[in-house]
Copies of this chain bind each other. A is one copy, B any other.
Amino acid sequence: MTDQRRSGCPINLTLEVVGDKWSLLVIRDMMFGNRRHFRELLTKSEEGISSNILADRLKTLREQGIISWADDPSHKQKGIYSLTAQGIELLPVLAQMSGWGFKYLPVSEELGIRAKLLSEGGPKMWAEFMDELREIHLGVKRRKKAGPSVGERLQAAYERVMARKKG
């Protein structure tokens, strides 16, 4: 990962940071699956990332200021990865990619339901979800809204589809 940039174009620079097949999936799992430890990210992802790639991406994402790392006081070996403010603001990028994929690619039903809700919810829902992420990852307190959070609603919808498919 040398520092030479191909151009000063914002799209190019963004691609140089997260334009590979894994970085955004790691961020997705931290955002939507609340995976915060190395092992969680390694074993609970749909796609099966290998440990050296995961270690490399976590390192790079830290260097880029997209995630941060802290000791887990409950376990001497565990660390907790968190999204930074900058990382949280990748949500609209993921939401748009998710919406496009849902519309044009062979998305599975259980994994598509979140995309559908997020796409229908639009920028207003994204802003609310980013607020929730700031609370979870940065400890920023926010006024509790009535009813379930966006994160909870997405998770509940996923589980509803899974339950119906199994039963």
Contacts and interface: CB of A to CB of B under 8 A. Distances in A.
**10 interchain residue pairs of minimum CB distance:** A8-B108, A10-B101, A7-B46, A14-B101, A6-B47, A13-B105, A10-B115, A14-B97, A9-B111, A93-B96
A10 B96 contact: no
Interface in A86-140: 86, 89-90, 92-108, 110-112, 115, 123
B8 A97 contact: no
Interface stretch (A20-28, A75-83, A143-151): A20-28
Instruction: Give the interface size bracket for A toward B.
Output: 35 or more
Interface in A1-39: 5-17, 19-21, 24-25, 28
A167 interface: no
Given A11-B97, A11-B98, A86-B104, 5 more contacts: A6-B46, A8-B111, A9-B47, A15-B24, A92-B100
A143 B35 CA distance: 49
Copies of the protein in its oligomer = 2
A23 to B, nearest CB: 9
A101 B96 CA distance: 15
Interface of A: 5-17, 19-21, 24-25, 28, 46-48, 65, 86, 89-90, 92-108, 110-112, 115, 123
A96 to B, nearest CB: 4
